[in-house]
Amino acid sequence: MLVILAFIIVFHIVSAALLFISTIDNAWWVGEGFSADLWRVCTNSTNCTEINDLSGTDIFEDYSIMQAVQATMILSTILCCSSFLIFLLQLFRLKQGERFVLTAIIQLLSCLCAMIGASIYTDRRQDLHQRNYKIYYLLQDGSYGYSFILAWVSFAFTLISGLMYMILRKRK
């Protein structure tokens, strides 16, 4: 039982780390000489423009969409960390044989938020390419970066973690 518990704790910490990295790091959309994330657009390592600075211009018309992605990814990270703390509290408070239902629900909500954020970003990125917006970093050929991929991986990890908490019963 101790091995299973250690595995679940490590799995949850890895999920939270993936959410932190995918939310913070500047690699959602990358190309030669530029990178963009949820917060800024960088044409090189020193020339970065915050996305909220572009909100009033014609360069970036879909600022509210980026705010939705930012909010869901932050909420997902907060929920994942909260569910870990609740898990630790329930570990010592629950009677034997009870399930970690509250932890599972919060972790599954974290999973849902990560999925919504990554889905919105994927959908809007495709729309922007099809409508040919004049966003200077979209005109360059690029691809999804590792932070975007980590967002989808963290979705899978939080889903698996939430399901493990639903199944897990406190035993001796």
Residue pLDDT, tens place only, 8-50: 899 999 999 999 999 988 788 887 777 777 877 777 767 777 6
Name the token pair of 38. Answer: 């949820």
Measured distance CA(92)–CA(86) in Å, rounded? 10
More confident site: 58 or 14: 14
CA-CA-CA-CA dihedral for 151, 154, 156, 161, to nearest 10? -160
- The answer to whether 164 touches 8, Cβ cutoff 8 Å, is yes
- Structural domain including 72 reads 2-27+62-134+144-167
Q: Is the pLDDT of residue 167 over 80?
A: yes
Among 30-34, 77-81, 96-100, name the most confident range.
77-81
Q: Is the pLDDT of residue 96 over 90?
A: no
Closest CA to 70 of 23, 138, 26: 23
Where does the pLDDT of residue 3 fall: very low under 50, low under 70, confident under 90, or very high at 90 and above?
A: confident
CB contact at 8 A, 57 and 69: no
- pLDDT of 112 above 90: yes
For residue 102, is pLDDT > 60? yes
**pLDDT for the residue numbered 37:** 78
Round to whole Å and give the CA distance between 91 and 88.
Answer: 5
Check pLDDT > 80 for residue 60.
no
Residue 54 lies in a domain: no
Residue 56 lies in a domain: no
Domain count, the chain: 1
